Structure 1
Amino acid sequence: MNWLNIFSGALASVSNISIIIWLLLIILLTCRFYKMYYDERAIERRKQISLLPSLTKTYLETINFIWLVSSMSPQDTLPYFSSVLKSVGPLVYMNTIIRDYVFINDPDDIKILLSSTQHITKGPEYSILEPWLSTGLLTSTDEKWQTRRKLLTNTFHFKILETYIPAFNKHANGLVQNLAKASKNDQLVTNIDSHVTLCALDIVCETIMGVSLRSQEGQSIEYVKAIKTMSRVVKKRIITGWLWSDTIFNVSTWGRQFYKSLKVLHEFSKNVIQQRKQKLNFSENPIAGTIGERKKVQSFLDLLIEISKEHPNSMTDADVQEEVDTFLFEGHDTSSIAMTMALIHIGMNQNIQDNIREELQGIFGDSDRDATMEDLKSMFILERVIKETMRLYPSVPSVTRTLNQPLQLKNHTIPAHSIIGVLIYILHRDESMYPNPEVFDADRFLPEQCNDRHPYGYLPFSAGPRNCIGQKFAMYLMKTVLSTVVRHMKLETLGTQKDIVVSTQLVLKADSLPSLKLTPLFENHKK
């Protein structure tokens, strides 16, 4: 009996050992197959990359490229990449050791990328904004982005935009008053961009949040200061490689400024949301579900709160805040640079200014009334001027995507996990589409000039599924502000286009601008 037990135990031990051995073999084989697959995938990736026109074919070229780019000033970046694309071609690969970048400048290739519903993940530089904007419409991807985009589309419906026009007019008139004061006694306006930025901030804050920031009146100083600081810190972090490390950034002076400003911005938007929620008593004043039946909807925030009421799982309080922060940032920063550059060029080209004023005279006559939606739609000359301004100075000078799977372009396959970029600023200077590209010529956007132009050769608001959801909002805002200034003031730019110096980060920035001489056209602005 004892021998039987011993024999049975031995068999059990052998069986256990066999199981262990088989498990080890399975693990080893799994690792081997994974290694073989990984190696083949790596080999295939290297093969695909080797077929791309490249600046970094060797390790030494890679080191030289990284050193060159990291030592550049923000003003040098666009001219450098412009020269690269001209010498290498409309597609170029660049290895930065950590990441593989591919830049494309062929409208056909750009269409393949931007029109895709699969390649919608933004590039890694957008992660810098996540502590501020979280994963709102600008930075989110996949299912969250698709759901959020669908929910927010109606918030920019024509009938909603029409309710914003009074706020556009109010703050445009405030800008005229401030410019009149700044130019009193023939003083030159040397900081037109600051005036325009405060106007845009007031407009976006009132329409998006439903509150009066009064930044043009010198109010809300802490909030305005935090916006400026945040923009400056984000700009610094993007162009400074070592600040990409969260550990280093968080202990740096820049990091401390960032989080101090972040607290101000988040507390401000959170308080505004709570105040608006208290005022919008949904139980006593229900808001109907269709656009035409909406009641007492005064701001973008009102609409977000309504969506959160109807879809609490899709739009939480945190979701409302991240969208408010996102649209406040995107709305004022992008529109202000375009309006600033438009005013500079209107003052630089007196014939264009005369044509705009003649068009406005035909719309308004001698009336000093505010602009209506129908008035804005009739400003064809001004619209062409705005479009040409955004061709030369696109508010968002580049867009990037992280490829989660290979992308097949016309002549090349870009492997997965590459970062592919479109340099819109350079695309808009393609001589095959825009002869004499550095010349400001609003007639480029006459209907007959646009008919044969590639639809992906002009991308001031990007294109495809991730195009700018607020582009109509921005166009009406810019038309209102610019038409109001031209109706009330004569602009003379004391300089040339060569005096304009820009740099590129997530948005285009004006580092140097010529001064403006502004002459009020009406007595009430001369006092």
Structure 2
Amino acid sequence: MEISENFRHVLKTYLEPVRLYHALGVVCVIYVGMLLTRLMQRRKTLKAAFEQFPGPPGHWLLGNTNEFQQDGTDLEKIITFGENYPYAFPLPFYHRQDDIAYRFLTAWIGEGLLVSAGQRWFRHRRLLTPGFHYDILKPYVKIMSDSAKIMLDKWETYAKTQESFELFQHVSLMTLDSIMKCAFSCESNCQTESGTNKYIKAVYDLCDLVNLRFRVFLYHIDFIFHLSPHGYMYRRACRIAHKHTEEVIRKRKEVLTKEKEQNLSQKKRNLDFLDILLCARDEQQQGLSDEDIRAEVDTFMFEGHDTTASGLAWILYALACNPEHQQKCRVEIQQALEGKDSIEWEDLSKIPYTTMCIKESLRLYPPVPGMARKLTKPMTFFDGRTVPEGCIVGTSVYGIHRNATVWENPNVFDPLRFLPENTAKRSPHAFVPFSAGPRNCIGQNFAMNEMKVGTMMTLKKYILIQDPDHVPKMIPRLVLRSINGVNIKIKLVEN
């Protein structure tokens, strides 16, 4: 009896809710303390390794995190740092060294081509490459043209009033419409349905939440982020995005099953990215698992519409700011189309000046402003300085594209930089809007074609006018955006 009474006393004492919360609080404090200790040890090791790399001073714990205020000046700070500390400089943050921010994406897009590595990445890349052959891309041009026409017809109201309007939301819907029709043979009607598109909204939220999690130290701890309001918002947005892609996959599987049962030929419709994804087989005749398929669909659904939307929105903005180049493009486009209302594959090769303007915009406003890789072995620079294995090396595409030692007057819009004779004088890595090397963007030809089509269709119908009252403030998210939107005015081209 005495033992039983003592046991009840212990339960009452230590398992009361308040005391339980105290215990959990102590555990959290110990965990965070251990994390900070490991962080400081790692910081000490890296400080010794980086003595040969001078860089901007930072906080003893937070590093340079507070340098970046998300106020539209962050990208220019990278340029300034690059001028003061040429080639490479340390930029300590408080995030764990295995993050590279990509870890925060896996709950959303799984381990698709963007975040996978090793043999998994190599196998998937090999299986997916046929989906971007020009024979597959060729029929997409007409579809992209039709999607762009829907968007441009909606703009007639703005042309009549000449009021300023925000580009990004319109272009995002257009590129989503195109990707759904081209890659997944799915009529989305997203440009004509009323209200805000749930998938577009989810992608915006996910991009913002990934950026927020990267910047907030405690959110790097999975269970703390999971229990937070932002963690709940992230999971809700993931569910919306996954529901969207799962529905696309389900419908296609039904179509393929019906075709197989009825012994129908796929010649009745164009072979697309999803067909190749579902039917791809390696040397052992093994296809992709259902989980792999959803990861690649989620990845391409996001990358195939959001990065292209960013690129095209900034292209139209750049042309609005440079009317003389815009008019040269318009004349070239009118000559190439010869009065046609839509664009065909062969027309894309008839616009060399417009293509140079598109590349110059991608230089000034790269859709993906930066990327990072974790070193699997030490990397030595040409001047003999070495970065140790295990470090994350960030590459600022924005900084490369505005490097004054490579580009004369780097902030000036000058499409003649991309004349063949001028391009030949530069390193092939001076212009990398789609990255470079084996992990370059698998869909870059798809994206370039869509940006060409969107630019051609827009300039054929409208004159783009800069809005001096709405100057965009660039901000690096997963793609290049603007805090205050990308606004222009338009008017109809006089025939």
Query: Partners in 1 of 2:164 and 2:43 — Cα distance?
Result: 58
For residues 90-148 of structure 1, the C-alpha deviation after alignment (integer angstroms, 9 at most, x for no partner) is: 11123446657xxxxxxxxxxxxxxxxxxxxx962011110011100000001100111
Matches within 5 A, 1:57-456: 62-63=60-61, 65-66=63-64, 68-69=66-67, 72-73=69-70, 75-96=72-93, 124-184=100-160, 186-218=161-193, 221-281=197-257, 283-284=260-261, 296-307=269-280, 313-365=286-338, 367-410=339-382, 411-456=384-429
User: In structure 1, the residue corresponding to 2:138 is in which secondary structure?
Assistant: helix
For residues 283-330 of structure 1, the C-alpha deviation after alignment (integer angstroms, 9 at most, x for no partner) is: 457799xxxx97744421121111169977440111111111101101
For residues 356-382 of structure 1, the C-alpha deviation after alignment (integer angstroms, 9 at most, x for no partner) is: 1111121122x2331111101111111
Task: Report what 1:503 is aligned to.
Answer: 475
The Cα shift of 1:413 comes to 1.7
User: Which of the two has higher C-alpha Rg?
Assistant: 1
The Cα shift of 1:513 comes to 4.8
Query: Partners in 1 of 2:379 and 2:263 — Cα distance?
Result: 48
Residue 484 of structure 1: which of 457, 461, 464 is its match? Answer: 457
Over 3 Å counting, the alpha-carbon distance change for 1:307 and 1:262 in structure 2 is same
Instruction: Indicate if the aligned counterparts of 1:169 and 1:371 stay in contact, CA closer than 8 A.
Output: yes
Query: Partners in 2 of 1:508 and 1:286 — Cα distance?
Result: 46
For residues 28-76 of structure 1, the C-alpha deviation after alignment (integer angstroms, 9 at most, x for no partner) is: xxxxxxxxxxxxx9999776433333446xxx8534734633x622523
Over 3 Å counting, the alpha-carbon distance change for 1:87 and 1:269 in structure 2 is same
Task: Report what 2:4 is aligned to.
Answer: none
The Cα shift of 1:190 comes to 1.9
Query: Partners in 2 of 1:295 and 1:303 — Cα distance?
Result: 16
Query: Partners in 2 of 1:222 and 1:312 — Cα distance?
Result: 37
TM-score by length of 2: 0.84
User: In structure 1, the residue corresponding to 2:280 is in which secondary structure?
Assistant: helix
User: In structure 1, the residue corresponding to 2:491 is in which secondary structure?
Assistant: strand
For residues 333-376 of structure 1, the C-alpha deviation after alignment (integer angstroms, 9 at most, x for no partner) is: 111111111111212222112111111121122x2331111101
Query: Partners in 2 of 1:45 and 1:255 — Cα distance?
Result: 31
Instruction: Indicate if the aligned counterparts of 2:167 and 2:486 stay in contact, CA closer than 8 A.
Output: no
Over 3 Å counting, the alpha-carbon distance change for 1:157 and 1:67 in structure 2 is closer
Q: What amino acid does structure 1 have at the position aligned with 2:73? A: D
User: In structure 2, the residue corresponding to 1:517 is in which secondary structure?
Assistant: strand
Task: Report what 2:24 is aligned to.
Answer: none
Over 3 Å counting, the alpha-carbon distance change for 1:86 and 1:361 in structure 2 is same
Query: Partners in 1 of 2:462 and 2:72 — Cα distance?
Result: 32
Q: Which runs of 5+ in 2 are unaligned?
A: 1-41
Q: What amino acid does structure 1 have at the position aligned with 2:103? A: S
Instruction: Indicate if the aligned counterparts of 1:62 and 1:95 stay in contact, CA closer than 8 A.
Output: no
Query: Partners in 1 of 2:45 and 2:262 — Cα distance?
Result: 62
Query: Partners in 2 of 1:482 and 1:305 — Cα distance?
Result: 32
User: In structure 2, the residue corresponding to 1:215 is in which secondary structure?
Assistant: coil
- Per mean C-alpha deviation after superposition, the further-off stretch among 397-406 and 230-239 is 230-239
Over 3 Å counting, the alpha-carbon distance change for 1:286 and 1:430 in structure 2 is farther
Q: Which runs of 5+ in 1 are unaligned?
A: 1-40, 101-121
User: In structure 1, the residue corresponding to 2:417 is in which secondary structure?
Assistant: helix
Over 3 Å counting, the alpha-carbon distance change for 1:510 and 1:153 in structure 2 is same
